[in-house]
C-alpha cells in the first residue's frame, strides 16, 4: 500500500507508468482494484488509482455525506500528488469529477465520466436510503444479499457474480464510506449538478454503456447538453459495470479519448 494524508483521511493509492498524469475514480462499493484490467490499456500515461473516502484501504475520516466533501478530496489529491491532470470518473467517481470541474480553479485538464448521472431520481434516492438503513442497523446479511442482486443487474456478460459481489463487499469495509457516499448521491436529488454544468470550462467526454439499467442514455444526454463542447461515446455489450463487462473496449476508448483531447 502507498498512502498519503489528505484532509482528514489517509488515502490509499497506486501509481504506475510514466507520461502525463491520469487519475481514475471508482464507483460506489468499489475500490482501486476495479480499474486493473482497464488501466492496462493506459500504458502511455502515469496512472493513479485510489480508494475513495471510506472505501478499500482509505480511512473514512469525518464523513459529511456531501458531494462537495468528496470533490474536495479529489482536489486535495490533485494538488498534492499530480498537479493538472486528466480525471476519469466512473458512476460515483464521475459525479465527483463533475463537481470538482465546476470550480474555475480546478486542476482537472480533461474530464471523462462513465455511467454517470448529474441528478438522482426518487427511486434511486430510496434505493440508497434503504442500503444506508441496512448498514446503520447492522443488517449485513441483508446488505450483502442486496449488493449481490444489484451486481447481477449491472452486468450482461457471463461472470462469477458471487466472486464479484464478494470483492465489492470487501471494498465497502465497515460501511462508513458507503454510507457517506450514498448520502452524497441522495444529496444530488435535491441539489442536482445540472445547473452547474454550464460552469465547466474543461473538455468533457461522456461514456455510456449500451445496456446500462442504472444510468440510461438520458442521464448521459443531460450532461452532454449541459457542458459546452461535451461529446458522447458508447461501449457496446455492457451493463453499468463497464470494467467487468467490457474492460478492453472501455480501456481502449479511454486511451483514445485521452490522446485526442490531451490528458491535461
20-35 pLDDT, tens digit per residue, is 999 999 999 999 999 9
* Confidence band of 261 (pLDDT split at 50, 70, 90): confident
CB 51 within 8 A of CB 12: yes
State CA 60 to chain mean position distance. Answer: 17
| Whole-number percent of the chain with pLDDT over 90 | 98
Rounded to whole angstroms, how far apart are CA atoms 85 and 12? 18
How do strand 46-50 and strand 204-209 relate by DSSP bridges? unpaired
Q: What are phi and psi of 251, to 5 degrees?
A: -65, -40
CA dihedral sign of residues 89, 93, 95, 97? negative
Grid coordinates of 186 = 441522495
* 146 confidence band (pLDDT: 50, 70, 90): very high
Best CA proximity match to 178, nearest among 92, 236, 252: 92
**What does the mean pLDDT of the chain come to?**
97
- Note the pLDDT of residue 264: 57
Amino acid at each position: 500500500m502507498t498512502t498519503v494524508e489528505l484532509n482528514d483521511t489517509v488515502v490509499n493509492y497506486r501509481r504506475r507508468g510514466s507520461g502525463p498524469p491520469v487519475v481514475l475514480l471508482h464507483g460506489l462499493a468499489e475500490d482501486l482494484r476495479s480499474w486493473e484490467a482497464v488501466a492496462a490499456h493506459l500504458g502511455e500515461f502515469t496512472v493513479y488509482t485510489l480508494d475513495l473516502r471510506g472505501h478499500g484501504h482509505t480511512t473514512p475520516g469525518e464523513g459529511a455525506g456531501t458531494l462537495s466533501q468528496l470533490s474536495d478530496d479529489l482536489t486535495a489529491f490533485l494538488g498534492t500528488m499530480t498537479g493538472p491532470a486528466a480525471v476519469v470518473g466512473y458512476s460515483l467517481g464521475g459525479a465527483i469529477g463533475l463537481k470538482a470541474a465546476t470550480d474555475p480553479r480546478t486542476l482537472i485538464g480533461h474530464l471523462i465520466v462513465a455511467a454517470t448521472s448529474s441528478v438522482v431520481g426518487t427511486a434511486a434516492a430510496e434505493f440508497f436510503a434503504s442500503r444506508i438503513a441496512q448498514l446503520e442497523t447492522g443488517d449485513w446479511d441483508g446488505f450483502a444479499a442486496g449488493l449481490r442482486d444489484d451486481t447481477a443487474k449491472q452486468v450482461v456478460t457471463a461472470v462469477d457474480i458471487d466472486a464479484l459481489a464478494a470483492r465489492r463487499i470487501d471494498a465497502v469495509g465497515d460501511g462508513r464510506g458507503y454510507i457517506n457516499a450514498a448520502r452524497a448521491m441522495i444529496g444530488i436529488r435535491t441539489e442536482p449538478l445540472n445547473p452547474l454544468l454550464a460552469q465547466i470550462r474543461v473538455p468533457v467526454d461522456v461514456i455510456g454503456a449500451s445496456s446500462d439499467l442504472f444510468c440510461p442514455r438520458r442521464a448521459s444526454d443531460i450532461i452532454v447538453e449541459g457542458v459546452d463542447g461535451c461529446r458522447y461515446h458508447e461501449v457496446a455489450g455492457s451493463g453499468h459495470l463497464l470494467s467487468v463487462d467490457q474492460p478492453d473496449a472501455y480501456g481502449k476508448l479511454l486511451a483514445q479519448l485521452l490522446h485526442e483531447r490531451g490528458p491535461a
